Chain A
Amino acid sequence: MKNTDISAPDYFHKVVDCQWACPAHTPVPEYIRLIAAGRYSDAYMINWKSNVFPGILGRTCDRPCEPACRRVRVEDEPVAICRLKRVAADYKDDITARLPKPAARKNGKRVALVGAGPASLTVARDLAPLGYHCVVFDGDKKAGGMIRTQIPKFRLPDSVIDEETGYILGLGVEFRGGKRIESMKALLAEGWDAVFVGSGAPRGRDLDIPGRKEAAKNIHIGIDWLSSVSFGHVSKIGKRVIVLGGGNTAMDCCRSARRLGGEDVNVVVRSGFEEMKASPWEKEDAQHEGIPIHNFLVPKAFIHDNGKLTGITFEKVKAEYDDKGRRKLVSAGLPEQHFPCDDVLVAVGQENAFPWIERDCGIEFNEWNMPKVDTRTMASSNPKVFFGGDAAFGPKNIIWAVAHGHEAAVSIDKLLNGEDITDRPLPAVELMSQKMGIHEWSYDNEIALDQRYKVPLRDKVVALKDIKAEVELGFDAKLALAEAGRCLNCDVQTVFTAQLCIECDACVDICPMDCITFTVNSEEAELRKRLNAPSHNLSQDLYVQDGLKTGRIMAKDEDVCLHCGLCAERCPTGAWDMQKFLLDMTYAGNSCRPQRRSAA
């Protein structure tokens, strides 16, 4: 294999699994260390810079970082990254003085942002301090978008949304609440320098089966019902409720129903329990509240008595897989099942809808009636119009919306500076030795064997009585410290300098995970077979360095390295060093200008 080029920004970035998996590439281990040190405000600001909504995401993020966490491969459960983020938000001091100030001088460019959800607010956050005049439009009176309308208050209190949307609107961003944009053409005619569409995926999919029309009074579309609940338009539901669908919206629906008078609430899904779209922890939360989930049941008809819903009939199905491993649900050949109920919540998916974008205003749409959007620049085929969040590529989640927002802000900043928006500078990389003394590192390199700590919950009886009572109480400082100790500090990298190595084998002998091998070089596939420990995880790179006196190479499998630094502690010559990797993302402003410093 060729020598690994550790100056390429991606190499060590990939080793930090959580950061690599995060769409916004938040430097997770860095803020976890700050939480462990009790520096909650510093931890919050790192998050705020990267993901804009730490308090919101610390309660609601889909957390792609956690399945990626190295701890999963080393033991079993990932570090509770998401809930640690909430700790930073919960225990920080007043950070308003640390936020950017509204631009002293405007640059004269005007940007319209459609929808006040996470994508638009991220764009506004990035652009407003640079002097752009950002105007956010939303049909609702308050900012937040789906964060406010669709996430139940028992998961995310309004106070957190008010605080974090407030930080952004306080940057000199103009918010025009209650002003729904009804025509893109009219908007473009107003002469904005750029338009960003972050209007989400606001349409809930319906279920067109017999009885739908007749029993319509007791059949509700999940996301619409949730936002009605959120605004207080709906405050009760029948005693027996069936929620159709297996995603996170379904979980929010059933738990909300349980709090509004639903005593016998059941979730029914077409697929198997394991294949449900909902995150495992959301399914757990629903079950914890006494909500059964019935699987492999396809709804056939709404049964009603003269327009009064009485129940639903289902066909029992089973999964069959063809040669290509594709799943097909086929009838199990059993009699239909009838579930009696008073109300139904349909949460079987969301769709985009752009009735307000005229098809002749330069924005091309594809065969699925979605705008054609560049995945890197977020640009549509109209050079002034950008998309992000669910509006760009269909329903995803908040953290993706934030990532889109950052990219769109870079594009808008470059466009309005007369630069090529496809010329996007790489992020900058900084590597810094963590050595403080012979056995001293500036991070806690002792590996904690603790298992994942559970977040304390409010008493169930109390929680189910009040739809606004937050269920999760969050880690306290002591639990947060213990959970933070589980982080392996994957951003503190093992950096090897072949010229210093005397090939004494000390690192090989001490490495608890047998990551390091000194051997003759060969192609990667062959090399992986000869390493000291099995090397099956091809998604994790081998770190290869030649230039040793014996002509061999050092090959380190990054897969399950604990970043404990014992290789560096046992190295007599300092050939191994532990160096902290910091990624400086490219955001709108100076860091995206073309004459940027080169990486590392």
Chain B
Amino acid sequence: MTYLTKPKFHHPDLPKNELGYTHRDYEGTVSTLCAGCGHDSITGAIIAACFELSIEPHRVAKISGIGCSSKTPTYFLGNSHGFNSVHGRMPSVLTGANLANRDLIYLGVSGDGDSASIGFGQFAHALRRAVNMVYIVENNGVYGLTKGQFSATADRGSKSKRGFVNTDNSIDLVAIALQLGASFVARSFSGDKQQLVPIIKAAIAHKGAAFIDIISPCVAFNNHAGSTKSFDFVREHNEAVNRLDYMSSRMPIEVTYEPGTVEVVEQHDGSKLTLRKLAADYEITDRTAALGFLQQHAAKGQIVTGLLYVEKGPQDLHAHLRTVEAPLNTLNEAELCPGQATLEAFNASLR
């Protein structure tokens, strides 16, 4: 935790994006989390992703629940919209906001307590309904704010800082997200920005429910020997299936990889995901195979990371509900009250 604000000075030759902003322009206020918190690295990765995508800050809505993770939207995108909601209720608020204004980019920021315990139902339904969003879980396997109890994502057999062994089974949010029909599912690690930043960029570009489980070590309560969410453990057991390069539709694709090692997945907006395969037989668009792969490796104690699943041609909630294209606040009186004749025609259609 730092009391000083970050000095306004920045490197004189800092690169600028297409909007003329530096990455410093995407920062928020200074973090009040513990020094070394994995969540702050995720904040850094979100800042890098939004900077690199040249996103206009006013086009983003950051919505979170309660917890260390849910504090982080204060620390990035200081000029974006934000809503810090009730514990575990981020998905409802996000769904409502998304229905009202589909033009914004929705970043749902949550933690393992917020999404796997109190908000588990909310988590499930937002994914099931295919809300167009980036749903980020900053997953440290521990209740940090209440000083280190196991959370629902703590692995059975892992040890708490005080030496207790967890006897409960853990919830694997990635597996659940796959089962519930999320159209973009990834897992990454706060200590690996090279992997994480392109995944966040691809998730923002994805039109559908994108879920990213980010293992984020809690330096205060869950970074000891015996923890399965520590820096050391994650680095030792990280099984990355691929390395992702995100290419916007404006960038030419330079294929310099050996044939067979690279898979290119085109998204609806023309952007391309270039995946350098690390696990040779991994099939990125096969939901059931992804589930199987995940469970086989979990049984061996390995943590599978990378972009694990992406659906070709996803649809979102608005498509399912056939809602109006325009944000609701742009509709005028004539559109909202089209008159008696329209009402009668509509009623007639239902008879």
Contacts and interface: CB of A to CB of B under 8 A. Distances in A.
Contacts of B13: 533-534, 536
A449 B35 CA distance: 25
B7 A564 contact: yes
A600 interface: no
B329 interface: no
Contacts of A534: 11, 13-15
Interface residues of B, number: 36
Contact of A564 (B4, B36, B223): B4
Closest 3 CB pairs of A and B: A572-B36, A447-B7, A509-B44
Contact of A504 (B6, B11, B219): B219
8 contacts: A75-B9, A446-B4, A502-B219, A506-B35, A513-B10, A536-B13, A549-B235, A550-B235
Interface string A538-556: 0000000000011000000
A439 interface: yes
A236 interface: no
A449 B5 CA distance: 12
A509 B41 contact: yes
B93 interface: no
B346 interface: no
A536 B190 CA distance: 30
A153 B19 CA distance: 56
Contacts, number: 100
B10 A570 contact: no
B235 A504 contact: no
Interface in B8-44: 8-15, 24, 30-31, 34-38, 40-41, 43-44
B129 interface: no
B35 A560 contact: no
A506 B41 CA distance: 7
Given A502-B223, A505-B191, A506-B35, A439 B9 contact: no
Nearest to B44: A509
A505 B44 contact: yes
A570 B231 contact: no
A562 B12 CA distance: 12
A573 B24 CA distance: 26
B193 interface: yes
B286 interface: no
Nearest to A532: B11
B332 interface: no
Nearest to B9: A74
B91 interface: no
A439 B30 CA distance: 14
Interface string B114-135: 0000000000000000000000
Interface of B is mostly: loop
Nearest to A506: B36
B40 A506 contact: yes
Interface string A16-52: 0000000000000000000000000000000000000
Given A502-B36, A504-B219, A514 B2 contact: no
B6 A570 contact: no
B63 to A, nearest CB: 22
Interface in B261-276: none
Contact of B9 (A445, A506, A549, A562): A562
A583 interface: no
A562 B44 CA distance: 20
A553 to B, nearest CB: 15
Contacts of A549: 232, 235
A512 B41 CA distance: 15
Given A74-B12, A503-B231, A572-B34, A562 B2 contact: no
A570 B32 CA distance: 10
Contacts of A573: 36
Contacts of B219: 502, 504, 572
A204 B213 CA distance: 78
Given A512-B6, A549-B232, A569-B4, A533 B14 contact: yes
B3 interface: yes
A533 B11 contact: yes
Contacts of A514: 10-11, 14
Nearest to B232: A549
B2 A569 contact: yes
A572 B35 contact: yes
Contacts of B235: 549-550
Interface in B203-250: 217, 219-220, 223, 231-232, 235
A447 B30 CA distance: 15
B40 A509 contact: yes
B7 A512 contact: yes
Nearest to A560: B11
A463 interface: no
Contacts of A446: 4
Interface centre among B9, B43, B191, B231 (most CB of A within 10 A): B9
Contacts of A73: 12
B10 A512 contact: yes
B195 to A, nearest CB: 13
Given A445-B4, A506-B37, A512 B9 contact: yes
Interface in A390-447: 439, 445-447
Contacts of B220: 572
A157 B300 CA distance: 83
